[in-house]
Structure 1
Amino acid sequence: MPLTAAPTAEPAPPAEAILRRQRVRESAARTYARSFPIVPVRAHGMTVEGADGRRYLDCLAGAGTLALGHNHPVVLAAIRRTLDSGAPLHLLDLATAEKDDFTTALLESLPAEFAGGARVHFCGPAGTDAVEAALKLMQTVTGRRGTLAFTGGYHGMTAGALAVSGNVAVKEPLPSGGEVTRLPFPFRYRCPFGLGGEAGERVSVRYVERLLDDPSGGVVRPAAMIVEVVQGEGGAVPAPDDWLREMRRITAERGIPLIVDEVQTGVGRTGAMWAVEHSGITPDAMVLSKAIGGSLPLAVVVYREEYDGWQPGAHTGTFRGNTLAMAAGAATLRHVTANGLASRAAAVGRYLMTELTALQRQLPVIGDVRGRGLMIGVELVDPSAEPDVCGAYPADPALARRVREACLARGLIVELGGRHDAVLRLLPPLTITDEQAHAVLDRLSDAIAAAAPR
């Protein structure tokens, strides 16, 4: 009898095959790939197109990296111009025209009282390395070791940066990363003191001041304090301006350098070019990454010149000289400034928060709407449970996951953060149009209504 060939399975679609290979080949630490099982093939502005032909509005924007959205013409032109010029793409920390231009654009964009006489240190390509550099610098200059950090903070995944971050789940399996004193971050919705509002903020200030001055408080004078002006991964929790000014006063009076982490808040994201401008404080150091590279990897620490206590080679890295990122970053900084995109972020952010607050009155599963500029958090809760002493209901992470999936099904990319991963985080590019803002609200409100318990 002639042999008959067994029927062959239909070949998997390219996207499905790619996703399958990713699951097999890549580590279990995958994050965004688990949340969004899509294979992007094209992207422009706020729109991402998957291999299946579906289009999505991207409210993640590279976790805030894409200030101008995907493949902005200004960024692409800067990259092409650099490539066509024959400029070296990798030169460690040697001087280049592209680096000189980026440094000029960066210092011109920073608050004048901070930028005057400041020093710029180029780090490895990620924000976490810039945090490490800032901590090491202040330890070197002060001769002290400890750090003051805040509940809810996120500063990166390397040892020192993770030590000053607040997320317990990623820290538990690891040995201690250093001496860190954890301070309560003011959080109006979930006040650490059970007071809420301005009362909680005032207690936070008094607590920090008295702890540092208490000879039996157990806190040896630290090398630095590190703080975010708006906690990003912590759930879009803004620090009150008055509170920040008090932290600046407390640290200055006690000779403690203040490091502000602007990795996610910088380049117009919060409605000002740099988030410190809202309060008017002048830090001793600023940690910058994400948007400063114009979508490409770049990270720096900018600090006051009196702290320039490095020895040559004290903090090095092979990939400190990313020429393309410097060109793209300089173009991005200048475009954001010239086109008033920080003000645009403030205006669109106000509109989104106003509409979301109105939606909150219709959907009780929305416990809180907060943020600044285009850095917005929508916290989902269980309104059938018992509220806490401030009236906040328990977080509902299962609902948040269902809403994220419902958003993706409706063509909207929204990621989670905050305590228990129950906060929908909106980080659209600063170039978001009015039409796109309306579409985000429509899709998000529809997704929440569909996923909420009946």
Structure 2
Amino acid sequence: MPTPSPAAGSAATQAAAVLRRQRVRESAARTYARSFPIVPVRANGMTVEGADGRRYLDCLSGAGTLALGHNHPVVLEAIRRTLDSGAPLHLLDLATAEKDDFTTALFESLPPAFADGARVHFCGPAGTDAVEAALKLMQTATGRSGALAFTGAYHGMTAGALALTGNVAVKEPLPGGGEVVRLPYPYGYRCPFGVGGQAGAELSATYVERLLDDPSGGVVPPAAMVLEAVQGEGGVVPAPDDWLRAMRRITAERRIPLIVDEVQTGVGRTGAMWAVEHSGIVPDAMVLSKAIGGSLPLAVVVYREEYDGWRPGAHTGTFRGNTLAMAAGAATLRYVAANGLAERAAAVGARMTERLRALAGELPVIGDVRGRGLMIGVELVDPAAEPDACGARPAAPELAVRVREACLERGLIVELGGRHDAVLRLLPPLTVTDEQAAAVLDRLADAVAAASGPAVSA
């Protein structure tokens, strides 16, 4: 290895000081900073450079926010053009040319059957606020207060969104979780019914339908059902298309509005512009954030106009009018569509998944590989433990942490999620090259082998 220059040594010292001040000044709730103790100074596409001069392939992409990777030219041009135009950067919810252009680009990207007659509400700049807005919208429209949500769900960290979330650990310190009925999500590898596969998904749908129709089932008619077509934080668990169609039928027949959370799955991530397109369902509302802002904060709810029963000011937020995010978001949406990046995500994701499944045959610590498009999960398990009725072995969270650290040592940023944080989550930008995809898999395979090898367990 080359000897670091004095300048590199100085930069590393400065980076260490920055990290030290962060630990002292910032809250104990920080997360990614604990997983990745680096100080990024430059980024381009999929590459992030730290203050110490080391370069990393970023497979986190801002938790799915960076559809085009870091500092994509089309995004930077949209931001510069807006800045140079003298356009106001903050105008609450007033009409601007930038907002009009963004809503045009957004509606052009949506499934036509959903976009026709739809309305959009601009929320605070995070997906969790959009979830709150969608719930309030349906509560207003239906006059009901409860909601249906699913095991493994993640919808945000504010009160209403947190009540919908499945992860118990993030909810334990809080009083009251809200009136939410928890339903079984079809998770093939760890099937809640112990059967797995299509049979597990069919049992889930049957359970939901019979529970809602049972006069002694304890379910008060809800304001909405909220679901993810692919659970992200829950461990990259794709819902079968037939199951999604069943949820749409069940809710429509009972006049229960269906809200689909596309915060992480949207803008081409799953191999379609929007994850609902795989199944063809038309929801009553879609919650959108992350990639729609082109790397800048932006969140909206799009919904069928018959639900637009709000009074003025029913859901507001000071930062609804993020002009730069709207310009960057419109440019991103159009670039993804014009360059077929959703289709490319499907093709590259399929190749990566195929190789990872082959790797699972060589490394028994890989229990399951799953995903859709460039939203891929690799679940790590204890291969020495007894499998359950579905063939799944216990999760290996300690191993997952070691693999994440080994990845970082090899210049790869990969985060964890899922049950017990034992799922390696791959979220590369849609612009990932074939060479970068191969490098990701090489580094990941080497990290898994090193972290799970005999020397580690000895």
Q: Give your verdict on TM over 0.5.
A: yes
- Map 1:26-41; keep pairs closer than 5 Å: 26-41=26-41
- Map 1:63-142; keep pairs closer than 5 Å: 63-142=63-142
- Measured against aligned partners, the alpha-carbon deviations of 1:90-137 in whole angstroms (never above 9, x if no partner) come to 000000000000000000000000000100000000000000000000
Partner of 1:224: 224
Identity %: 85
- Map 1:233-272; keep pairs closer than 5 Å: 233-272=233-272
Counterpart Cα distance in 2 of 1:417 and 1:55: 24
Partner of 1:59: 59
Partner of 2:339: 339
Counterpart Cα distance in 2 of 1:12 and 1:440: 25
Partner of 2:153: 153
- Map 1:181-220; keep pairs closer than 5 Å: 181-220=181-220
Check whether the contact 2:11–2:51 (CA below 8 A) recurs between aligned residues: no
Counterpart Cα distance in 2 of 1:177 and 1:419: 20
1:48 aligns with 2:36: no
Partner of 1:14: 14
Counterpart Cα distance in 2 of 1:84 and 1:136: 38
Counterpart Cα distance in 2 of 1:164 and 1:304: 22
How far did 1:202 drift? 0.9
Q: Which moved more, 1:197-206 or 1:252-261?
A: 197-206
Partner of 2:4: none
Between the two proteins, the alignment pairs up a number of residues equal to 445
- Measured against aligned partners, the alpha-carbon deviations of 1:388-444 in whole angstroms (never above 9, x if no partner) come to 111100000000000000000000000000000000000000000000000001000
Unaligned runs of 5+ in 1: 1-9
Counterpart Cα distance in 2 of 1:48 and 1:40: 6
**Amino acid of the structure 2 residue aligned with 1:178:** G
Counterpart Cα distance in 2 of 1:117 and 1:205: 29
Partner of 2:391: 391
- Measured against aligned partners, the alpha-carbon deviations of 1:129-159 in whole angstroms (never above 9, x if no partner) come to 0000000000011000110000000000000
Secondary structure of residue in 2 paired with 1:379: strand
Partner of 2:446: 446
Counterpart Cα distance in 2 of 1:281 and 1:62: 28
Could you say if the C-alpha distance between residues 83 and 256 of structure 1 is closer, same or farther in structure 2, counting changes exceeding 3 Å?
Answer: same
Secondary structure of residue in 1 paired with 2:319: coil
Secondary structure of residue in 1 paired with 2:170: helix
Secondary structure of residue in 1 paired with 2:269: coil
How far did 1:13 drift? 1.0
Unaligned runs of 5+ in 2: 1-9
Counterpart Cα distance in 2 of 1:437 and 1:316: 41
Counterpart Cα distance in 1 of 2:115 and 2:151: 29
Counterpart Cα distance in 2 of 1:268 and 1:151: 25
Q: Over aligned residue pairs, what C-alpha RMSD do you find?
A: 0.9
- Measured against aligned partners, the alpha-carbon deviations of 1:240-298 in whole angstroms (never above 9, x if no partner) come to 00000000000000000000000000000000000000000000000000000000000
Partner of 1:6: none
How far did 1:12 drift? 7.7
Counterpart Cα distance in 2 of 1:393 and 1:319: 46
How far did 1:11 drift? 11
Check whether the contact 2:224–2:258 (CA below 8 A) recurs between aligned residues: yes
- Measured against aligned partners, the alpha-carbon deviations of 1:350-377 in whole angstroms (never above 9, x if no partner) come to 0000000000000000000000000000
Counterpart Cα distance in 2 of 1:143 and 1:453: 57
How far did 1:52 drift? 0.2
Counterpart Cα distance in 2 of 1:345 and 1:23: 37
Counterpart Cα distance in 2 of 1:125 and 1:92: 12
Partner of 1:285: 285
How far did 1:453 drift? 3.9
Check whether the contact 2:12–2:52 (CA below 8 A) recurs between aligned residues: no
Secondary structure of residue in 2 paired with 1:286: strand
Counterpart Cα distance in 2 of 1:390 and 1:111: 36
